[in-house]
Amino acid sequence: MSSPEQNLLHTPLYDLHLSLSARMVPFAGYAMPVQYQGLGMGLMAEHHHTRTAASLFDVSHMGQLRLVGPEAAAAFETLIPVDVQDLAVGRQRYGMLLNDAGGIIDDLMFVNRGTDIFVIVNGACKVGDIAHIQARIGQRCQVIPMPERALLALQGPQAVTALQRLCPGVEKLVFMSGGHFHIHHSAQDIDCFITRSGYTGEDGFEISVHEMQAEALAHLLLAQPEVKPAGLGARNSLRLEAGLCLYGNDIDTSTTPIEAGLNWAIQKVRRTGGARAGGFPGADTVLAQLDNPASLTRKRVGLIGLERVPVREHVELQDLTGQRVGEVCSGLLSPTLDQPVAMAYIDTRAGAQCAAVGTRLNAIVRGKPVPMEVSAMPFVPNRYYRG
């Protein structure tokens, strides 16, 4: 009898997950842990542990690559609506690869490391992303995939306490900064590139490490009293409480950055009137929407449930007269708030007021209206360390 994981890829931590009795599921072509029920944890416990202590997530399915050469920053700017050339060494930014209609091919993080631009893309999109980058700017800089690198995320208010015990000096990093570090422990000498960032809304770190050293590093981190493992389930609930987009749910090739409310990611220098305005795919569409918000036909908003009924993706939203005004893209029962939260796209042609904070809408769950209210995001305040 064939295993359901027969055709799935394994991260370098696969054996560790099995030893911790993780429940494995297919995700982005990999067998990934959704939760660690064998430790008496599970999604809710992992979520709360991340909010109060520190959790270790395996995110090695993500794609890592380097852009190398004197034209790398200028070349990368032709693909994303973000300021790359002025980013200081050691600093990180969020960006988006766009198609010619301004739709989001993928969202990503990148760091100016001085000798290269280090880029992290989503696991489900990495093959296409790397091919896209290579085809568009491979003549101007080296595009070097890094399949030999694993990626671990240590997240939570006690993450810095645990990590600096192994890696003194890492506590000096601030949110969206990074650097090269060596972790020395007993016979272990582990080279890492660490950024102070993550996907949970909490303080934390993402650690790029060679695949041959990933399991040793994971064991060192899990040996710290503050740290327990966490899986995809908690990662999803944490990011939703933080109001962060999941590619494929909340953003995709049919969504522009402005529709998604990602205006903040487009720096002034790349906007109309800026020194390097436009010059990226879909610039005419994206900048027109940015300059004239009234032209938008839909908008991403947050929703909080007024009854304790979870509202999932693809659920229809109606105004109080019964007119369809939108659709939920992500939703669940918030473990922190103990009430439903969701993100949705509202059709602003049905009335701009439908997207205004405080507006009451109905989610149609199994044919019945469930009252919800448009809310500001994040649903749970972010606790990034800014120094």
pLDDT at 351: 64
> Which tokens belong to 386?
């800014």
pLDDT at 186: 78
pLDDT at 373: 98
pLDDT at 39: 66
CATH 2.40.30.110 domain range(s) in the chain = 293-375
pLDDT at 3: 44
pLDDT at 246: 98
pLDDT at 4: 47
Three-state SS string across the chain, please? CCCCCCCCECCCCHHHHHHCCCEEEEECCEEEEEECHHHCCCHHHHHHHHHHCEEEEECCCCEEEEEECCCHHHHHHCCCCCCCCCCCCCEEEEEEEECCCCCEEEEEEEEECCCCEEEEECHHHHHHHHHHHHHHHCCCCEEEECCCEEEEEEECCCHHHHHHHHCCCHHHCCCCEEEEEEEEECCEEEEEEEECCCCCCCCEEEEEEEHHHHHHHHHHHHCCCCEEECCHHHHHHHHHHCCCCCECCCECCCCCCCCCCCHHHCCHHHCCCCCCCCCCCCHHHHHHHHHCHHHCCEEEEEEEECCCCCCCCCCEEECCCCCEEEEEEEEEECCCCCCEEEEEEEEHHHCHHHHCCCCEEEEEECCEEEEEEEECCCCCCCCCCCC
pLDDT at 6: 61
How far lies 281's CA from each of 12, 14, 80, 100, in Å?
36, 38, 7, 5
Q: Tell me the CB-side half-sphere exposure of residue 310, using CA atoms within 13 A.
A: 10
Phi, psi dihedral angles at 219 (to 5 degrees): -65, -40
- Residues in the chain with pLDDT values less than 70: 1-6, 38-40, 350-352
Per residue in 323-347, pLDDT (tens digit) is 999 999 999 999 999 999 999 999 9
- Is residue 214 within 8 Å of residue 229, measured between CB atoms? no
Per residue in 201-254, pLDDT (tens digit) is 999 999 999 999 999 999 999 999 999 999 999 999 999 999 999 999 999 999
Pick the CATH number of 14-62+149-230 from 3.40.50.150, 3.30.1360.120, 3.20.20.70, 3.40.50.1820: 3.30.1360.120
pLDDT at 352: 67
Domain 293-375 has CATH 1.10.540.10: no
Q: How far apart are CA 283 and CA 272, in angstroms?
A: 10
Q: How far apart are CA 201 and CA 241, in angstroms?
A: 8
CATH 3.30.1360.120 domain range(s) in the chain = 14-62+149-230
